[in-house]
Chains A and B, each alone.
Chain A
Amino acid sequence: MTAPRILIVDDEPAIRRVLQTNLATRGYQTSAVETGEEALRLAAESDFDLVILDLMLPGMSGVDVCRALRAGSTVPILVLSARGDERAKVQALDLGADDYVTKPFGIDELLARVRAILRRPPLAASPDSGILIADDLTLDLDTRQVRHAGCPVDLTPRELAVLAYLMRHAEKIVTHRLLLAAVWGPDYGGETQYLRVFINRLRHKIGDDAAHPRYIATEPGVGYRFVLPVSAG
């Protein structure tokens, strides 16, 4: 297996240097660019396994880069955002960015995020068939059956759809808006209060606990993340 290729987009030379040195030491192949325009050109030329994207870029903004990347690719995007810039962060995640790290970040945290995203299995070719497995939890998309520790779990069609969506996008942050639009339709988007109650019921049914989530973790103010057990990687 070849080394994963990572594209770093940041206008700060110090950040680019530190990230490149660290990632290269861990065996990743890296390319680093300063602007969004360069990033898009490079991404069009060759395939990357991950893009690390700063949101505060001169010229084309990180959010615009995110939108442009998503228009033609499913490459995972890890967003570097600043505290106080939550709006841009949520915007990027809504557009399909996978995860974020807040600046200033410790390198451990960033490396952990990179590993988690790269561990994630690629999206199944068909969203409606196959079996999704995470630890003790199994979801058969064909028979629409969910089992937890071997016992069948009785889920409503909506709950099944939500769980399926989260599992298919494991280790990716799914924003409230994305989840509502995917399961309830594009007209829904603001009913996050409803979603909160709904997710708690779902957690309870699959033997999960909001305080110590094993499967569905809450990203405060942003959305949810289906956590893959580390051993599976």
Chain B
Amino acid sequence: MSIEGGEQRYTVQRILERGAQRPALGAAIGLILVVLLVPLLSVLGGASGTFGPSLPLFFLVPVLLAATLSGRVAGAIVAVAAVFAWDWFFIPPLYTVTIYYPRDVLALFIFLLVALLTGQLATATRRRAEDAMIRARSSEALYALSTALIAHHELRDMLDTLTHRLQEAFDLRACAVLLPRGPGAGWHTAATAGSIPPELSVETSREISSIVANVIKTGQAVGMVPLEPDGAASHGGLGDGAMPRLARRARFLPLKIENRPIGVLELILKPGVALDGEREQLMTTFANGAALALEQARLAQEEQEAAIARASDELKTALLSSVSHDLRTPLAGIKAAASSLLQEDVEWSADDRRAFLQDIDGEVDRLTRLVSNLLDLSRIEGGAIKLQLEWEDPSEVIFRVLRHLEGPLAGHPVSVQVDQVLPPVRVDAIRMEQVLTNLLENAAKYSEPGAPIEVRAFTAPTSAGEELRIEVRDHGPGIPPAERARIFDKFYRLSGNAKRTPGVGLGLSIARAFVEAHQGRIEVESEVGAGSTFRVVLPPEPVSTDLDQLERAGDCGGQAAAPPGDRQKALRS
């Protein structure tokens, strides 16, 4: 179907609809046409019999038009007017109602009959055309709805689409989907199109919520019901008196799944518009489709929630077992060494005693690192990382970490290559140390004993200035490309290593969270079989040059070294 065709159809439709809404419009157009016909036919010699018996045919045109536009009542009015005009202007004696010849009386009578019948037929045709159009529009809307419902997986989007399509297809003032909040918790408007006046809203009107509850209980539609053939609106089932007054402006259709109502469709009609049987039927079809879609969406959502719950349960179990293993291992070492020292039947040599104490000391450090990682994780999860930013010398941070990690790094030759003149960085020293600790621990953990570890720190120029890079390179098995993106995820363990190497899978995710909190980034380069390089990149510190100024300002008593504006900036930093 071409676009023009569609537009044309809609134009005709709009005129028809406008006519239907205002019966006077059709009648008025018909009457004006009648009035115009009289001088036209007179000029052409209508009164002197030029047209012969075909003259009344001209008067059928306005009748037909009025009936088509505004129905049979308008048609009948115009028909009577046409009879009068014909008699007055064209039937002798002219300009009187009186008729000389009986054949003219018969002709007038037959004309009236034909005009009324034509009007009736035109009205019926019009209604059929209208129905066909509604059907076409509804099936179009239904099709659009079903594609939209397939496209949207979110319940909210689905409901939005549904209400908007309904409003469009049935030319409603407003439309809403009402769903239960929970058992016994009342109703809420899950989606709307158009605006629902407060007296018709289930949230604000007690009357409406009792109507909705009744619709759910009985499974029957309530409110404005189909136009009867005589054109008067009647109110379904309930008598006028029993019918809640407000419901007459709205229609409440149950959304049913296998005859079980799961929600209510509220339709608010434009003033003066009623639903006929055909539209009612279509709306029910709509409502059923909507209910099905709703149910599907609900099931999908439930399934998703269940899957999430399962996954998080699995995660908790995995976390618990790996955390408890990681906690227990150092505890076992501590307990064994301490209980050895407490033995009364042996006199330990000084060396033995020292070895036991060293074991205890090392294991306590290990426990501390694990516990601080867990605490960090809970802080990150809670969104409560507060950085204590201080100016630090990067190489100092690196060497401090290496000193702390002497135990775990024993057996791995560590080479350190740090640029002579690294600019100071504003970092949270504890957090940065944790980042490097986690990277170095991983490097040791994931490579064979004796494999070297290299640490480098240098600056690299970028458009914004010199950024600081700290690299930790190992000669371990490397990380398969498919897993590189995921190693920074919480609890993610390399598939091949999860069994071999103890760990929780927190180190890298914590490192990333901390680096990102510093506006930096963490990267990995890896070659399977050759090793991996983890790189912490800290952005150029925009105020680091100001530090020099601050320094100088202090040296010279804060007077001449920097212009006042710059000094302010420096102090603010």
A interface, CB within 8 angstroms of B: 12, 14-15, 17-19, 21-22, 25-26, 56, 58-59, 82-84, 103-108, 110
Contact = CB atoms under 8 A, between A and B. Distances in A.
Contact of A18 (B346, B359, B362, B502): B359
Given A58-B500, A104-B328, A105-B332, A14 B363 contact: yes
Contacts of B340: 18, 21-22, 107
Contacts of B348: 25
Contacts of B363: 14
A165 to B, nearest CB: 33
A56 B325 contact: yes
B494 interface: no
B500 A105 contact: no
Contact of A104 (B334, B343, B356, B362): B334
Nearest to A103: B332
Given A103-B332, A105-B335, 19 more contacts: A12-B329, A14-B333, A15-B333, A17-B355, A18-B340, A18-B359, A21-B355, A22-B343, A25-B348, A26-B346, A56-B325, A59-B499, A82-B325, A104-B334, A105-B336, A106-B335, A106-B336, A108-B343, A110-B336
19 contacts: A14-B359, A14-B363, A15-B333, A18-B340, A18-B356, A21-B340, A21-B356, A22-B340, A59-B499, A82-B324, A84-B324, A103-B328, A103-B329, A103-B331, A104-B333, A104-B335, A105-B335, A105-B339, A106-B339
A21 B352 contact: yes
B501 interface: yes
Given A18-B340, A22-B340, A59-B499, A12 B335 contact: no
A134 B362 CA distance: 46
A82 B328 contact: yes
Contact of B343 (A17, A105, A107): A107
B321 interface: yes
Contacts of B321: 84
Given A19-B336, A21-B352, A58 B501 contact: yes
A184 to B, nearest CB: 35
Interface string B335-369: 11101100100101000100110010011000000
B499 A14 contact: no
A18 B238 CA distance: 90
Contacts of A105: 332, 335-336, 339
A107 B325 CA distance: 20
Nearest to B501: A58
B148 to A, nearest CB: 51
A106 to B, nearest CB: 4
Among A59, A82, A105, A110, the one with the most B-chain Cβ atoms within 10 Å of its Cβ is A82
Among B324, B339, B500, the one with the most A-chain Cβ atoms within 10 Å of its Cβ is B339
Interface in B292-333: 321, 324-325, 328-333
A14 B328 contact: no
The SS class assigned to the B binding surface is helix
Given A58-B500, A84-B321, A107-B343, A17 B359 contact: yes
B332 A104 contact: yes
A104 B328 CA distance: 7
A18 B329 CA distance: 14
Interface residues of B, number: 28
B355 A107 contact: no
A138 B481 CA distance: 68
Contacts of B332: 12, 15, 82, 103-105
B347 to A, nearest CB: 9
Contact of A15 (B336, B339, B502): B336
A83 B328 contact: yes
Nearest to B329: A12
Interface in B495-528: 499-502
Interface string B359-392: 1001100000000000000000000000000000
A221 to B, nearest CB: 19
Contacts of A26: 346
A14 B362 contact: yes
A21 B334 CA distance: 15
Contacts of B337: 14, 18
Contacts of B324: 82, 84
Contacts of A103: 328-329, 331-332, 335
B106 to A, nearest CB: 108
Contacts of A25: 346, 348, 352
B336 A18 contact: yes
A104 B331 contact: yes
Contacts of A12: 329, 332-333
Contacts of A83: 328
Nearest to B449: A34
Among A82, A107, A108, the one with the most B-chain Cβ atoms within 10 Å of its Cβ is A107
6 nearest A-B pairs in the assembled complex, by CB-CB distance: A14-B333, A104-B335, A106-B339, A103-B332, A104-B332, A14-B359
B339 A107 contact: yes
A105 B337 CA distance: 10
Contacts of B355: 17, 21
A15 B362 CA distance: 12
Nearest to A110: B336
Nearest to B341: A107
Nearest to A10: B332
Nearest to B362: A14
Among B330, B343, B348, B362, the one with the most A-chain Cβ atoms within 10 Å of its Cβ is B343
A108 B499 contact: no
A223 B551 CA distance: 75
B173 to A, nearest CB: 64
Contacts of B325: 56, 82
B500 A59 contact: yes
A233 B343 CA distance: 22
A83 B335 CA distance: 14
Contacts of B333: 12, 14-15, 18, 104
A108 B328 contact: no
B467 to A, nearest CB: 38
Contacts of B356: 18, 21
A204 B336 CA distance: 39
Contacts of A14: 330, 333, 336-337, 359, 362-363
A82 B352 CA distance: 26
A77 to B, nearest CB: 19
Interface in B238-288: none
Interface string B228-240: 0000000000000
A14 to B, nearest CB: 3
B323 to A, nearest CB: 11
Among A21, A58, A108, A110, the one with the most B-chain Cβ atoms within 10 Å of its Cβ is A21
A19 B335 CA distance: 12
Nearest to B351: A21
A225 to B, nearest CB: 23
Contacts of B362: 14
A19 B340 CA distance: 9
A143 B426 CA distance: 88
Nearest to A56: B325
B231 to A, nearest CB: 80
Contacts of B336: 14-15, 18-19, 104-107, 110
A59 B502 CA distance: 11
A105 B362 CA distance: 18
